[in-house]
């Protein structure tokens, strides 16, 4: 029997980022692979964007507070597909950006994120010069619906996360600790 991902032809196992990785290897002495940035990032969380998703005081500000004072490269994602056979979630990237992620993402939620669409954010801390480089390389290689300027890439950028990363994310404990809610067990 074919796995669902084969059947439906969406990237599930080992997504490829060949153009991005080739370019970064040519131009940087210690390049990060796209896989490190989109699938293995230190921060990866679903961020509540609408009142319906907010439980207690768990609004987007608390989810972003764990990133306060940091700066680097971030991506905003939506659900694209899931594969039952491999228990993975394929994500489609809508935006790439750099800077202080807590302020920037909060502003995107206000100004450009579509109503009713679940938002997931990934973030990798790095200095501004490198963040600029990776942001531009992503824009040159891929197409992002919410990046209006200087986006010459044409292909979609997908990430593939396991269920833990998708459902719990990387910072649930920190978010929970900042919240008045005792624990996520209350959900």
What is the contact surface with Zn ion in residues (CB under 5 A)? 3, 5, 12, 83, 85-86
Which residue is associated with the tokens 């997504």?
15
- DSSP code of residue 29: S
SS3 state at 37 = helix
**Shortest distance (Å) from residue 41 CB to Zn ion:** 21
DSSP state letter for 113: P
Q: Which residues contact 68 (CB under 8 A, 6 or more apart)?
A: 102
> Shortest Cβ distance from residue 160 to Zn ion (Å)?
9
Give 42 or 162: the residue with its C-beta nearer to Zn ion: 162
**Beta carbon nearer to Zn ion, 3 or 54:** 3
Q: How far is the CB of 88 from Zn ion (least distance, A)?
A: 6
Nearer to Zn ion, 86 or 132 (CB): 86
Taking the C-alpha atoms of residue 40 and residue 50, their distance in angstroms, rounded to an integer, is 27
Beta bridge partners, 123, equal 43, 74
Measured CA to CA in angstroms, residue 104 lies from 2, 96, 124, 132 at distances of 42, 11, 14, 15
Residue 88 or 179: which CB sits closer to Zn ion? 88
The tokens for 164 are: 């833990």
Indicate the residue among 75 and 89 with the shorter CB distance to Zn ion: 89
User: Strand (E) positions, the chain?
Assistant: 43-47, 72-83, 88-99, 119-125, 158-162
């Amino acid at each position: 029997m074919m796995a669902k991902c084969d059947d439906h032809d969406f990237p599930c196992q080992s997504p490829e980022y060949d153009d991005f990785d080739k370019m970064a290897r040519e131009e940087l002495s210690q390049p990060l692979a796209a896989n490190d940035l989109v699938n293995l990032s230190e921060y990866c969380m679903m961020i509540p964007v609408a009142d319906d998703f907010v439980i207690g005081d768990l609004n987007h500000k608390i989810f972003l507070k764990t990133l306060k004072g940091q700066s680097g490269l971030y991506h905003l994602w939506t659900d694209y597909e899931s594969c039952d056979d491999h228990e993975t979630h394929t994500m489609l990237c809508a935006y790439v950006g750099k800077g202080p992620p807590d302020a920037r993402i909060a502003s995107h939620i206000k100004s450009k994120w579509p109503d009713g669409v679940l938002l997931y954010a990934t973030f990798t801390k790095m200095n501004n010069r490198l963040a600029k480089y990776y942001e531009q390389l992503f824009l040159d290689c891929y197409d992002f619906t919410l990046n209006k300027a200087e986006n010459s890439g044409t292909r979609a950028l997908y990430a593939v996360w396991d269920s833990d990363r998708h459902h719990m994310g990387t910072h649930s404990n920190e978010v929970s600790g900042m919240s008045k809610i005792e624990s996520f067990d209350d959900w």
